[in-house]
Amino acid sequence: MRRLAQRRTIAHLSRDRWLVSYADFMTLLFAFFATMYAISNVDAQKLQRMSTAMRSAFDDSARAKPSPNVDGVRAGSAAIGAADEPSSEEVEAAVSQELAGELQMERLELIVDRRGVTLSIPEAGAFGTGRDDLSDTAQALVARVAVVLNRFPNAVRVEGHTDDVPIHTVRFQSNWDLSAARASRVVEFLIARGLAPARLSATGYGEFHPRVPNGTAETRASNRRIDLVILNAATTNREEPATTGSTP
């Protein structure tokens, strides 16, 4: 009788073992749905603020402690294929958000055309008359622009423009000289702020690419500017020299 009772007890326990696995499964299922519910209630604005703060912290850290190979790394980024470069629309959206304050105060002007996205800096407040050294205000502005430019691998062409008033000084023999020198100073400043030299080029157009006719003092002031053109892939492939490093 004892053995029969033992068999019945064992059989009963064997039939009920599935309850243990079922209970574990239900516990895991509950944990899964609890996790999904928690994720669905995360405050998106808090995440956005946290992301912005972390990005700003990393930018400040990178400027304070540059890596020994930072230029090499960024030069490699500049060589990324056209398929990996953001479109002009994507660049415009990012620049409009990151530099909204500067654009609103008209310290910068944003232009989108077939070449890409242009950030235009007026001469007023950026350079002294007939000079090529960046003012303190302009340095702060270009530093902000450099942070944004570092987010893209696109090539950047810095273009200097003047009005049609002739210049002839000991340092600058013509508006060609002045416009090219100003563009070069901006390029040097961007390199000092971490941009890879291989991404950059400097061009002086003198008075020969005005936005508006040089008829009044106001229009002449509009033509005196520095344009930073964030080139799209098509313009880079069509106009910029190859940077493979090979020799003929």
Predicted TM-score (pTM) of this structure: 0.66
What value does the mean pLDDT take over residues 70-97? Answer: 66
Decide: residue 171, CB within 10 A, 0-12 exposed, 13-18 middle, 19+ buried: exposed
Helix crossing, 136-149 with 175-192: angle to 10°?
Answer: 60
Residues 127-145, buried b or exposed e (16+ Cβ, 10 A)?
beeebbebeeebbebbebb
- The CA distance from 139 to 164, in Å, is 26
| Residue 166 near residue 115, CB atoms below 8 Å | no
More confident residue, 46 or 176: 176
Strands 200-204 and 109-113, bridge-based pairing = unpaired
Q: Which of 88, 139, 87 is nearest to 110 (CA)?
A: 88
Would you state the pLDDT for residue 66? 42
Tokens of 12: 């009963």
**DSSP label at 166?**
-
More confident residue, 82 or 170: 170
Decide: residue 238, CB within 10 A, 0-12 exposed, 13-18 middle, 19+ buried: exposed
Would you state the pLDDT for residue 67? 38
